[in-house]
Amino acid sequence: MFNFFNKDNKIKTALTKTAQGFFKGIFNLNSAVLDEFELEDIETTLIKADLGVDLSVEIVDRIKEKKVKSNELKNFLKQEFCSILDSIDNYKLKFDSNKLNVYFVVGVNGAGKTTLIGKLASRFKKQNLKVLLVAGDTFRAAAQEQLDIWAKRAGVDILIEKIPPAALAYKGIDLAKSENYDVVIIDSAGRLQNKYNLIEELKKIKNVIVDKTKNDNLETILVLDGTQGQNGISQANVFFEAVKIDSCAITKLDGSPKGGIVLAIANELKLPCKLIGVGEKIDDLIDFNKEEFIEALFEQ
């Protein structure tokens, strides 16, 4: 049985796509020793599943080197994937009930930032925590309006003002401290068209946040669109230039057979994917779980 994340059918369906699209072909090989053509097939499958060219080539090289047989391939890949995921420490979102928890959310427009913030806010709210959203994409009125809709949906408070985003973040954290909030989630702009300004702006906001949260719990989350694959990873570099990222959230995995992106992120960006978006509804958010993810990939 497919049992990824143990939730509802939607999640199973979401990751079934990845599992089926992923390896359906390559485990049907039956010759004892993998030949050149089969190795090529494996490489293509890995690339298609979004592990990235470098990682796919590396894995196939190791298959060759170890003379892995067809019937050993599944276990070999499982081990490879496990060791990639094991190279990253912590897949759990940082949270400290004795501190103010601040999440700074970055990513390109359209990646799913607003939706993720809404889902996360709702989750914290359901845990009876006091949550404040900071509508940090201050240049796009529509972005602030969208976030406002999500705040209402989740039943949490929101700070919206037309002032520079760093000033708004400053104000938001001050407000959270003076009114005993447990969680602050700060949105940001993601206009790649104006890369220089975006980087400068994100740097400024991050500096303010770091300065204001010295004794608090801070996590900077990069939101990546799971359907964008490697393209998303290269876009991530813009955000790396600007701020230190702690973790990733992958959105839209419900529509994509490309769950391999999680491995590429661990391998290339050295970051944990902690949250997975599997739909547009408020509860369509799951915590990443390493063991279940691996099992799901190999379930057929």
Query: Closest distance between ligand GDP and the C-beta of residue 115, in Å?
Result: 3
Binders of ligand GDP among residues 129 to 188 (CB under 6 A) are 146
Would you count residue 256 as binding ligand GDP (CB under 6 A)? no
How far apart CA 207 and CA 167 sit, in angstroms, is 11
Among 54, 61, 280, 300, binds ligand GDP (CB under 6 A): 280
How far apart CA 152 and CA 150 sit, in angstroms, is 5
Would you count residue 286 as binding ligand GDP (CB under 6 A)? no
Would you count residue 258 as binding ligand GDP (CB under 6 A)? no
Binders of ligand GDP among residues 184 to 223 (CB under 6 A) are 190
Q: Can you list the pairs that 167-174 forms with residues at least 24 positions away whose Cβ atoms lie under 8 Å?
A: 167/208, 168/134, 168/135, 168/136, 168/138, 169/104, 169/134, 169/136, 169/205, 169/208, 169/209, 169/212, 170/208, 170/212, 172/132, 172/134, 173/100, 173/102, 173/209, 173/212, 173/213, 174/212
Among 238, 255, 268, 298, binds ligand GDP (CB under 6 A): 255
Would you count residue 251 as binding ligand GDP (CB under 6 A)? yes
C-alpha angle 84-228-190 in degrees, rounded to nearest 5: 105
Starting at the earlier edge strand, list the strands of the sheet with 157-159: 157-159, 131-134, 183-186, 101-106, 217-225, 247-251, 273-277, 285-287
Among 50, 201, 246, 254, binds ligand GDP (CB under 6 A): 254
Give the alpha-carbon dihedral of 144, 198, 88, 282, to 10 degrees. 10
Query: Closest distance between ligand GDP and the C-beta of residue 294, in Å?
Result: 21
Would you count residue 252 as binding ligand GDP (CB under 6 A)? yes
Point out which span in 77-85, 166-174, 249-257, 261-269 binds ligand GDP (CB under 6 A).
249-257
Among 52, 107, 259, 260, binds ligand GDP (CB under 6 A): 107
Among 176, 278, 286, 294, binds ligand GDP (CB under 6 A): 278
Residue among 7 and 74 whose Cβ is closer to ligand GDP: 7
Q: In the 8-state DSSP scheme, what is residue 192?
A: G
Would you count residue 113 as binding ligand GDP (CB under 6 A)? yes
Q: Which residues of the shown chain bind ligand GDP in the complex (CB under 6 A)?
A: 107, 109-115, 146, 190, 251-252, 254-255, 277-280, 284
